Chains A and B, each alone.
Chain A
């Protein structure tokens, strides 16, 4: 058993060597996530009237919230969950189902919502 683990070890170390060294990059991402969250909270408390302008069935403000959320999500998945440094096949196995099915379900429910509630 121990022998097997040692056999796999060089390869695991190799796959990690492509990720950045040290902890500085972690704190950079922390500040980014913190600032984006701060902006979201500030916008949520102030709710500037010029951002409440309706667009695409909702308001510009809500679209900004969704955009900032996707930015945060991308950084968590790519760097904290290390997916950026995995092999192409693993990345596709994770990204494809999520990025096809989640927008698909969202689209269907928004579309059906219009049908069911008749706007």
Chain B
């Protein structure tokens, strides 16, 4: 194989890690397949972009993808410089990679924060289904603040907490509203059915491991688990990069006349990018 022992072992670890992520993503597909009607559609869930009002589906996650691809590029350049034994170039390109990784982890924290505090709110029925309040005619989903406070615009205060009582009263007062499924097809209940279901319903805002306002409960669990596991990979990759960067500064690889260690953490870093390419597709696009 003509590869150094450490590099070979890194490759074998990455193959096993790829199979682990395969398990997660195929399990996600399997569960989603069985609950298509109540499984949230990602572009209805991840709609925020810092500093921009209103719905911006996919834009933020596209930015995160760009950051990770960019940091993968700076890593390749660092490895390339290592082959030519250029210590300063390796150090600078590794700094760029580390900064990219930190921006990505920070972006993920921001996305988790918004996922957890919630957006439009949902209605959890007695049978456990989570539905949205929507206009019967247009199918447009109303946020709880639009429903209760009658705000015309986008919910300005995401931290406002709504009681089940006031939501029920507001829902009953507006004849044009029904309950609508968050999943594929956006199936609606009739007005009479909606009113009957509202009797024993609860208001859900935000998401945790038991309830989430977006729809099927497992959706939030998979979100936390898959993006969390990937985010932990990015975080540990940043730590590895910092350790190797420190060794580059100390001149360890200069003395060794080989920057193989940079290449090895580089493999791990590209793998993190590779996994994100798949998470991006199967969690946010498909």
Contacts and interface: CB of A to CB of B under 8 A. Distances in A.
Contacts of A58: 286
A75 B83 CA distance: 21
B26 A12 contact: no
Interface residues of B, number: 52
A30 B281 contact: no
B2 A87 contact: yes
A12 B58 contact: no
B54 to A, nearest CB: 14
Contacts of A105: 19, 22-23, 26
Given A34-B69, A37-B62, A65-B286, A73 B30 contact: no
Contacts of A79: 76
17 contacts: A6-B257, A11-B2, A23-B77, A26-B73, A34-B66, A37-B69, A40-B280, A40-B281, A44-B57, A44-B285, A73-B277, A80-B273, A93-B11, A94-B11, A101-B22, A106-B22, A109-B29
Given A44-B285, A69-B277, A112-B30, A33 B69 contact: yes
Contacts of B284: 44
B19 A69 contact: no
Interface string A45-87: 1000000000000100010011011001100110111100011
A113 B33 contact: yes
A73 B25 CA distance: 15
A45 B27 CA distance: 26
Given A9-B257, A26-B73, A65-B285, A90 B277 contact: no
Contacts, number: 133
Nearest to A102: B22
Given A11-B2, A116-B34, A77 B281 contact: no
Contacts of B30: 109-110, 112-113
Contacts of B278: 69, 73
Shortest beta-carbon contacts, A-B, top 7: A117-B34, A90-B1, A69-B281, A113-B33, A41-B62, A109-B26, A109-B30
B173 to A, nearest CB: 34
A79 B80 CA distance: 12
Interface residues of A, number: 54
B260 interface: yes
Interface string B259-286: 0100100010011011001101100111
A26 B72 CA distance: 10
A76 B15 contact: no
A112 to B, nearest CB: 7
A6 B18 CA distance: 34
A91 to B, nearest CB: 9
A93 B2 CA distance: 13
